[in-house]
């Protein structure tokens, strides 16, 4: 779809205008946009050519955009206007993309619901009573509703891949370092990935070609050559060895999801893939979420220490500098963020670092070693991206203190995808099927730099299910 759009030079202004107006028309129902971006000036400055020529896109609102408000979903940054573009914005502009909006997100990208944005929750286009998932939920909603064919997100635990499952689209987190993070407002530096959403594997491959590459301003970005992912697309998976995470399947209580997944595995076998159940150590799987929570919150506490109301952002009055900072952070951050900073600060206390922060890092190492052992025999690891469709939004419930948090269903089945962030390996969610009229996805993870294998397995699934370029009419 993106390639076809880019080749159509006659309807650039009309399609961009249509996307912009559709985003505005759906705002009351989806609340997916924080800031609308007038495309007029961008249309005047389009390059002569490009893989995204005249294609309307959306950016998650933690992506810095020169002269355009960038809030990261937080009140403390609600007046922040960057003086520079993120590297991916520069790349997309050179490719001819036109940004029409900055999308809603969980505050400072911390959360999996998209309910904590200072502008209010984003709503799922398949059923607006339900959440989009987070933290990149606004971007997911705008792709799923057909406003744009591609939107940028970020993924620190599963913040692209879980919303992709809940919204019935493709969500890609490439290898750590594959895409520059220069100009992205950080959450947890060792876990953060730039990710994105599309409605097809074809568009996912074309997008990574544009976004990937070395950036001297991001020392974690890779020198590895960027392949032509589109040219390498092939749904022939004969002989590919796929490991199903048995721990996840055993802990999903919704048997409709399990049956749907197992039926899909049978169809992959029919196409020649070798599909086996692979069990990781169960205690290790239980430890993924706690270890992630500690590492992410400790890194976030350090990264966000500059959000003090002094250097930039919203400033609250106070009798001295300390009072200004205290008041600014107290009023500028939501309750979930304040709690996470307390946890992060506790983990970073010198007396606690060895028994809390370092121990979590050791758990991370054990998880990555276990994945590497699996990849000695298998080409990919797969499991349902979620045990259930998107949950209903309960505005009276504290979403950070949901019940049953210590169950294996929550710890393992709903939060295992942080393995992809621990390892930095490429991971992608694609639509698998529907329950109660709402979509649910399957997650695919491959070894580092094996995005082409990931896309090819995804393409085989897409061709089996027929779930390509799905759009939902928002009611």
Give tens-digit pLDDT for 433-447. 999 999 999 999 999
CB-based burial, 389-411: b 16+ in 10 Å, e otherwise: bbbebeeeeebbeeeeeeebbbb
Contact indicator for 116, 334 with CB cutoff of 8 Å: yes
> So what's the pLDDT on residue 395?
55
Joined tokens for residue 156: 């620190």
Contact indicator for 411, 441 with CB cutoff of 8 Å: no
Contact indicator for 64, 185 with CB cutoff of 8 Å: yes
**Cβ atoms < 10 Å from Cβ of 140:** 35
Each residue of 18-48: pLDDT tens digit?
999 999 999 999 999 999 999 999 999 999 9
Helices (H) and strands (E) in the chain, counts: 17, 11
H/E element, 300: helix 282-303
CA angle 421, 426, 431 (to 5 degrees): 100
**Beta sheet of 193-198, edge-to-edge order:** 33-36, 98-103, 56-60, 150-155, 193-198, 170-173, 427-435, 438-445, 380-384, 241-245, 274-278
| Annotated catalytic residue, options 136, 145, 159, 427 | 159
| Annotated catalytic residue, options 22, 75, 102, 135 | 135
> Is 331 strand, coil or helix?
helix
Annotated catalytic residue 159: yes
Can you list the residues of the chain whose pLDDT is less than 50? 396-402
| Annotated catalytic residue, options 22, 60, 93, 102 | 60
> So what's the pLDDT on residue 405?
85
Annotated catalytic residue 102: no
CA atoms within 13 A on the CB side of 346: 9
> So what's the pLDDT on residue 399?
47
> So what's the pLDDT on residue 385?
98
Annotated catalytic residue 200: no
């Amino acid at each position: 779809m993106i390639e076809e759009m880019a080749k159509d030079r006659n309807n650039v202004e009309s399609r961009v205008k249509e996307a912009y107006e559709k985003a505005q028309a759906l705002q009351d129902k989806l609340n997916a946009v924080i800031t609308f971006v007038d495309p007029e000036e961008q249309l005047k400055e389009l390059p002569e050519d490009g893989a995204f020529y005249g294609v309307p896109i959306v950016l998650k609102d933690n992506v810095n955009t020169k002269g355009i408000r960038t809030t990261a979903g937080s009140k403390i940054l609600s007046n922040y206007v960057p003086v520079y573009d993120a590297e991916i914005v520069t790349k997309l502009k050179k490719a001819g993309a036109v940004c029409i909006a900055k999308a809603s997100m969980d505050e400072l990208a911390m959360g999996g619901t998209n309910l904590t944005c200072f502008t209010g929750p984003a709503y799922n286009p398949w059923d607006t009573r339900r959440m989009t998932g987070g933290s990149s939920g606004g971007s997911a909603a705008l792709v799923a509703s057909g406003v744009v064919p591609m939107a940028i997100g970020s993924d620190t635990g599963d913040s692209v891949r879980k919303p992709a499952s809940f919204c019935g689209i493709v969500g890609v987190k490439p290898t750590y370092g594959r895409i520059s993070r220069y100009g992205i407002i950080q959450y947890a530096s060792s876990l953060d990935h730039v990710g994105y959403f599309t409605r097809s594997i074809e568009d996912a491959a074309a997008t990574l070609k544009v976004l990937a590459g070395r950036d001297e301003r991001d020392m974690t970005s890779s020198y590895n050559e960027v392949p032509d992912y589109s040219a390498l697309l092939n749904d022939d998976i004969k002989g590919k060895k796929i490991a199903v995470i048995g721990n996840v399947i055993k802990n999903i209580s919704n048997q409709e999801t399990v049956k749907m997944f197992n039926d899909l595995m049978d169809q992959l076998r029919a196409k020649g893939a070798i599909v086996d159940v692979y069990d990781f150590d169960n205690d290790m799987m239980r430890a993924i979420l706690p270890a992630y929570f500690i590492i992410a919150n400790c890194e976030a506490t350090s990264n966000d220490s500059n959000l003090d109301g002094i250097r930039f952002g919203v400033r609250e009055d106070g009798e001295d500098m300390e009072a200004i900072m205290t008041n600014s952070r107290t009023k500028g951050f939501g309750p979930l963020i304040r709690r996470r900073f307390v946890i992060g600060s506790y983990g970073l206390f010198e007396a606690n670092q060895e028994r809390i922060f370092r121990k979590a890092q050791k758990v991370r190492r054990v998880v990555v070693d276990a994945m590497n052992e699996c990849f000695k025999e298998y080409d990919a690891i797969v499991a349902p991206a979620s045990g259930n469709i998107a949950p209903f939004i309960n505005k009276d419930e504290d979403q950070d203190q949901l019940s049953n948090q210590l169950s294996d269903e929550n710890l393992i089945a709903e939060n295992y995808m942080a393995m992809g962030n621990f390892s930095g390996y490429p991971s992608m969610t694609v639509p698998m099927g529907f329950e109660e009229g709402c979509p649910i996805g399957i997650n695919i993870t491959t070894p580092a730099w094996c995005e082409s294998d990931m896309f090819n397995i995804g393409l085989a699934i897409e061709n089996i299910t027929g779930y390509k370029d799905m759009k939902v009419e928002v009611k």
